[in-house]
A and B are shown apart, each in its own frame.
Chain A
Amino acid sequence: KAGVTQTPRYLIKTRGQQVTLSCSPISGHRSVSWYQQTPGQGLQFLFEYFSETQRNKGNFPGRFSGRQFSNSRSEMNVSTLELGDSALYLCASSLSGGMRELFFGEGSRLTVL
Chain B
Amino acid sequence: GENVEQHPSTLSVQEGDSAVIKCTYSDSASNYFPWYKQELGKRPQLIIDIRSNVGEKKDQRIAVTLNKTAKHFSLHITETQPEDSAVYFCAARTNNNDMRFGAGTRLTVKP
A contact residues vs B (CB 8 Å cutoff): 31, 33, 35, 40-45, 48, 50, 55-56, 58-59, 90, 97-99, 101-102, 104-107
Known: A31-B97, A99-B93. 17 other contacts (CB 8 A): A35-B101, A40-B9, A40-B103, A42-B6, A42-B102, A42-B103, A43-B101, A45-B98, A45-B101, A48-B98, A48-B99, A55-B97, A56-B98, A98-B32, A98-B93, A101-B49, A102-B36
CB-based contact B97/A45 at 8 Å: no
Contacts of B102 on A, CB cut-off 8 Å? 42
B contact residues vs A (CB 8 Å cutoff): 1, 6, 9, 31-32, 34, 36, 42-46, 49, 51, 89, 91, 93, 96-104
Contacts of A58 on B, CB cut-off 8 Å? 1
CB distance from B2 to the nearest CB of A (A): 9
- How many angstroms between the C-alpha atoms of A34 and B99 in the bound complex? 11
Known: A42-B104, A43-B89, A59-B1. A101 touches B46 (CB 8 A): yes
Contacts of A106 on B, CB cut-off 8 Å? 42-43
CB-based contact B97/A56 at 8 Å: yes
- How many angstroms between the C-alpha atoms of A35 and B99 in the bound complex? 10
CB-based contact B97/A98 at 8 Å: yes
Contacts of B101 on A, CB cut-off 8 Å? 35, 42-45
- How many angstroms between the C-alpha atoms of A78 and B53 in the bound complex? 39
17 A-B contacts, Cβ less than 8 Å apart? A35-B101, A40-B9, A41-B103, A42-B6, A42-B101, A56-B96, A56-B97, A56-B98, A90-B43, A97-B97, A98-B97, A99-B32, A101-B34, A101-B49, A104-B43, A105-B43, A106-B43
Contacts of B9 on A, CB cut-off 8 Å? 40
- How many angstroms between the C-alpha atoms of A105 and B34 in the bound complex? 17
CB-based contact B1/A43 at 8 Å: no
Contacts of B103 on A, CB cut-off 8 Å? 40-42
